[in-house]
Structure 1
Amino acid sequence: MKALVLAGGTGSRLRPITHTGAKQLVPVANKPILFYVIETLVDAGITDIGMIVGATEEEIRATVGDGGDFGAKVTYIPQDRPLGLAHAVLVARDYLAEDDFVMFLGDNFVVGGINGLVREFEAERPDAAIMLTRVKDPSDYGVAVLDTQGQVVRLEEKPRNPVSDLAVIGVYLFTTAVHQAVRAISPSARGELEITDAIQWLIDQGHAVRSTVIGNYWKDTGSVSELLEVNRAVLETLEPGVDGTVDKESELIGRVRVEPGATVSRSRIVGPAVIGAGTKVTGSYIGPWTSVDRDCVITASEIEYSIVLAGSSVEGVGRIESSLIGKEVRITRSAGPCRTHRLIVGDHSKVQITPLSHSPEPLT
């Protein structure tokens, strides 16, 4: 079995972060989301991976390489424009050849892996298998309708009036039957070839389509709130450890990882949290569910439930929470009263923050 990983999307919901980088490479607990996808596939025994890439191809190639670091072989498949998931299958036809394959969206996160789904597919050999999960707002997703026996009878892509709360998540398994399906469908009202339409075609033609409703944790990391929530979930499994330097005036509470070359002085860090390699934290508070990437500087500031990307500095500000801060961002204080801040800051930005109306007591 092969894998087809979709890593060519524009990441519009994560702008401005994705104006300058691939959404699939935004880190969760200091590791790119795409790495978790590849590791999930390799853990399921799938090492031959085709990766659909677009405008960010160069960055993804430089980061992932040939897949050898993961125990995989990665073949890059350019797609001129993101014209739908079914279009990605069309583009990858030569690579996929006559093999069964799993299609995995490169910005989706599944706790618990897909081993069970793959083994079941190999044993039963339906023409398609999909994973479903119950969601609060089905109109944002492809939605599945099941009959009384639990068989898939209908799929709809982002319906205005959903008749089901079962969302199709970004993991699909197919036999070669899907190649006929993607050639048979027409673009949707969005101008895309929808994979839900292709699966519906399979159902209408009498092909076997299986579904599995999962209770495991799943997230589409396409928005800031979802990304922060996945970061929180991953940090909950963090293995604590100090490979950097922590002085006697600092306090680490709970699951905290300080990576090699990082230094923590006169600061308090409450886990789960990770401090990246080469980062310097001085006179600051880092609260739960926070990931600070490599080579950052955090001085006289408070950060909680946030992600700070590589090379950024946060100096002399009050409190930052529920924030995503891009690469090489500089955040400093400015004049004026303010008690808390929420930031979504693009790469190479500079931001001035007003200080608290009173100076906080130094952290010891």
Structure 2
Amino acid sequence: MKALVLSGGSGTRLRPLTHTSPKQLVPVANKPVLYYVLEDIANSGITEVGIVVGESADEIQQAVGDGGKFGLDVTYLRQEAPLGLAHAVLIARDYLGDDDFVMYLGDNFILGGIAKLVEAFRADRPDAQILLTRVPDPKNFGVAEIGPGGRVVGLEEKPQHPKSDLAVVGVYFFTPVVHEAVRAVSPSWRGELEITHAIQWLIDRPCEVRSTTISGYWKDTGNVVDMLEVNRSVLDGIEPGVEGGIDAATELIGRVRIEAGAEVSGSRIVGPAVVGSGTVIVGSYVGPYTSIGENCRIEDSEIEFSIMLRDSRLSGTLRVQRSLIGRNVTVTPPSRVPAGNRLILGDHSRVEISS
């Protein structure tokens, strides 16, 4: 059995961050989301992985390499444009051959992993198996209609009038019959080959399409709110430890991890929180559910429930919260001038300013 990991999307919902870095490499708890996906696949016993890449192929390849550090054998498959999940299966045909496979979206996070699901699929081998979870607003997802015994009787992509509250999670299991399905479907109104259409083709044939409704934690980390929630979930399980330096005036409360090479002085850090290597924190407060990346500097500032990527700086700022701060960012107070705001912003930025 192989795995197909999709990492070719453009990440428009995380702009402007994803103008300079693929969304799959944005870290939660100081580790890229894609790493959690690859570790999950390795833990399930699968070793052969094809990663579908697009414009950010070079960065993905640099971060993952040949897969050896995960215990995997990785092959890269180039997709010329994000033309849909079924299109990704289409271009991976030669790589996948006649093997069963799991397709895993590279920006999805499933707490608890897929190892037991892989084992069950290998044992029963339905033509396809999808994962579902109940959501409050199914209009934003692919939605499944379920019949007796968990058999899938219908799928719709982002329906205006959903027939259930069961959203399709970004992990799918297929036998080789899916290759016929992806060749048979036509592009949707979005101009994409939808995997939901291919699965519907299997249902109509009819093939055996089963579902598993997961009750554990799942997130598509495609936007800032969900990214922060995944960060919160991962930090809830971190192991505390101090490998860096802290002085006598620093107070650590709860599960806090200070990585090697970090230095903290005259500060208060309330966990769960992680401080990356090479980071310096002086006279500041770091609150719960905060991940500070490598080589950052925080002086006379406060931050909580946030992700701060490497090489960034906070200096003299009041409470920063529910924020995602990119790489090499500097945040400082405004100069003492008459009331007004001076902004230097990239495309697609969003700024909230107090009145």
State the TM-score, normalized to the length of structure 1: 0.92
Q: Residues 102-137 of structure 1: CA distance to partner in whole angstroms, max 9, x if unpaired? A: 000000000111111111111111010000000011
One-letter amino acid matched to 1:82: P
Aligned to 1:57: 57
Matched, 1:134 2:107: no
Aligned to 2:342: none
Aligned to 2:120: 120
- Where do residues 59-98 of structure 1 align in structure 2 (5 Å cutoff)? 59-98=59-98
Aligned to 1:209: 209
Aligned to 2:292: 292
Q: Distance in 2 between matches of 1:6 and 1:129?
A: 18
Aligned residue-pair number: 344
One-letter amino acid matched to 1:162: P
Aligned to 1:360: none
Tell me if structure 2 keeps the 8 A contact 1:129–1:211.
Answer: yes
The DSSP-based 3-state class of the residue aligned with 1:13 is helix
Q: Distance in 1 between matches of 2:336 and 2:216?
A: 46
Tell me if structure 1 keeps the 8 A contact 2:151–2:208.
Answer: no
One-letter amino acid matched to 2:85: L
Aligned to 2:106: 106
The DSSP-based 3-state class of the residue aligned with 1:333 is coil
Deviation (angstroms), 1:161: 1.3
Q: Distance in 2 between matches of 1:116 and 1:132?
A: 15
Aligned to 1:242: 242
Q: Distance in 1 between matches of 2:279 and 2:48?
A: 36
Deviation (angstroms), 1:346: 7.2
Q: Distance in 2 between matches of 1:33 and 1:178?
A: 27
Q: Residues 188-217 of structure 1: CA distance to partner in whole angstroms, max 9, x if unpaired? A: 111110000000000100111110000010
The DSSP-based 3-state class of the residue aligned with 1:294 is coil
- Where do residues 205-354 of structure 1 align in structure 2 (5 Å cutoff)? 205-335=205-335
- Where do residues 26-45 of structure 1 align in structure 2 (5 Å cutoff)? 26-45=26-45
Aligned to 1:22: 22
Aligned to 1:188: 188
Q: 1:126 to 1:335 in 2, by over 3 A?
A: same
Q: Distance in 1 between matches of 2:263 and 2:46?
A: 39
Tell me if structure 2 keeps the 8 A contact 1:8–1:82.
Answer: yes
Tell me if structure 2 keeps the 8 A contact 1:85–1:195.
Answer: yes
Deviation (angstroms), 1:160: 1.2
Q: 1:80 to 1:254 in 2, by over 3 A?
A: same
Tell me if structure 2 keeps the 8 A contact 1:15–1:346.
Answer: no
Aligned to 2:11: 11
Larger mean CA deviation between 45-54 and 328-337 belongs to 328-337
Aligned to 2:171: 171
The DSSP-based 3-state class of the residue aligned with 1:248 is coil
Q: CA RMSD in A?
A: 1.6
Deviation (angstroms), 1:150: 2.5
Tell me if structure 2 keeps the 8 A contact 1:17–1:346.
Answer: no
Q: 1:346 to 1:49 in 2, by over 3 A?
A: farther
Tell me if structure 1 keeps the 8 A contact 2:150–2:212.
Answer: no
State the TM-score, normalized to the length of structure 2: 0.95
Deviation (angstroms), 1:148: 3.7
Q: Residues 163-211 of structure 1: CA distance to partner in whole angstroms, max 9, x if unpaired? A: 1100000000000000000000001111110000000000100111110
One-letter amino acid matched to 1:184: A
The DSSP-based 3-state class of the residue aligned with 1:193 is coil
Q: Distance in 2 between matches of 1:336 and 1:45?
A: 59
Matched, 1:200 2:205: no
One-letter amino acid matched to 1:7: S
Tell me if structure 2 keeps the 8 A contact 1:329–1:346.
Answer: no
% identical aligned pairs: 62
Aligned to 1:341: none
Structure 1 stretches of at least 4 aligned residues deviating more than 6 Å after TM superposition: none
Q: Distance in 2 between matches of 1:71 and 1:122?
A: 20
Deviation (angstroms), 1:271: 0.1
The DSSP-based 3-state class of the residue aligned with 1:198 is helix
Q: Distance in 1 between matches of 2:199 and 2:269?
A: 48
Deviation (angstroms), 1:147: 1.4
Matched, 1:149 2:149: yes
Q: 1:229 to 1:336 in 2, by over 3 A?
A: farther
Q: Distance in 2 between matches of 1:73 and 1:123?
A: 24
Deviation (angstroms), 1:335: 4.2
One-letter amino acid matched to 1:183: R
Q: Distance in 2 between matches of 1:109 and 1:66?
A: 22
Tell me if structure 1 keeps the 8 A contact 2:273–2:288.
Answer: yes
Q: Distance in 2 between matches of 1:74 and 1:25?
A: 17
One-letter amino acid matched to 1:185: V
